[in-house]
Each structure stands twice: as structure tokens, then as C-alpha cells.
């Protein structure tokens, strides 16, 4: 029984490593080196919260550093009608929106990044 548990743990670690290698190859470099120096922050032009009648909380997988925060916020903020703020500790993105959004809409916004929308409130 103990041997089976050890084997399962080793398999899980190998799967995590393979996923990390895949993302590094597909999206270039490690997440910690991307997004901080090379990517400029996209600033939201309309900072009046009353203009954003919709509010969403996304659970996003894959964020580990400030570079990840910048990449996720930029991917969402470039839309122009959205205002994203990442909570890295909880792996959440709080989004204010001027229009109604679906989980698929957010997945489409993040499709060019290595991050995955796991849930939406």
C-alpha cells in the first residue's frame, strides 16, 4: 500500500513537471522572467467604478509571480471595457466590466497566455 502511494506521488510530480516544461516551451521563457521588464502595464482609462455595472471573480490557475500578474491584468485590460486586478495570494482576478461576460469570454481573453480560468463568480 505504501509503495502505491509513493508511486502516485511520483507520477503527480512528473505530470506537474511536464506541464511546466510544456508551458515554458509554448509561451517562451519562464513565467518569472516574462512580463515584468519586457511588457508594459496596460492602464485602464476609465477609473470610475460606477461605470462598471458588472463584477466578476475568476479563479485562475498558473499565476505564481508579479510577471504573471501583469500578463493576466494586461490580457483582460486590453479589452477596454474591463478592469482587472489580480489577487496573487488567492489566485483570483477581480474584474469590473461594462458589459455582461461569460466564462468563455474570459477564457478567450486568456487563450494567448499560459493561464487557465478554473471558475467564475
| Domain residue limits, the chain | 1-29, 31-120
pLDDT at 19 over 60: yes
- Is residue 58 scored above 70 in pLDDT? yes
72 Cβ partners below 8 Å, 6+ apart? Answer: 60, 63, 84, 86, 93, 110, 113, 115
- Quote the cell numbers at residue 2: 505504501
Q: How confident is the model over 43-66, as a mean pLDDT?
A: 90
Give the C-alpha separation, 51 to 89, whole Å. 27
Q: What pLDDT is recorded for position 35?
A: 43
pLDDT digits (tens, 9 = 90+) for 71-116: 999 999 998 899 999 998 999 999 999 999 999 999 999 988 888 8
Report d(CA 107, CA 94) in Å as an integer: 15
Q: What is the pLDDT of residue 1?
A: 83
- Domain 31-120 CATH class label: alpha beta
Contact predicate 106/58, CB 8 Å: yes
- 3-state SS assignment for residue 77: helix
pLDDT value of position 34 = 47
Average pLDDT for residues 44-71, to the nearest whole number?
90
Amino acid at each position: 500500500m505504501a509503495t502505491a502511494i509513493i508511486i502516485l506521488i511520483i507520477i503527480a510530480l512528473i505530470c506537474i513537471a511536464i506541464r511546466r516544461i510544456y508551458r515554458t516551451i509554448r509561451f517562451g521563457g519562464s513565467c518569472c522572467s516574462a512580463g515584468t521588464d519586457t511588457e508594459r502595464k496596460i492602464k485602464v482609462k476609465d477609473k470610475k467604478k460606477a461605470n462598471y455595472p458588472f463584477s466578476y471573480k475568476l479563479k485562475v490557475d498558473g499565476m505564481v509571480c508579479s510577471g504573471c500578474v501583469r500578463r493576466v491584468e494586461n490580457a483582460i485590460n486590453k479589452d477596454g471595457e474591463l478592469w482587472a486586478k489580480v489577487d496573487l495570494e488567492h489566485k483570483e482576478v477581480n474584474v469590473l466590466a461594462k458589459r455582461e461576460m461569460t466564462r468563455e469570454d474570459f477564457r478567450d481573453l486568456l487563450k494567448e497566455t499560459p493561464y487557465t480560468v478554473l471558475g467564475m463568480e
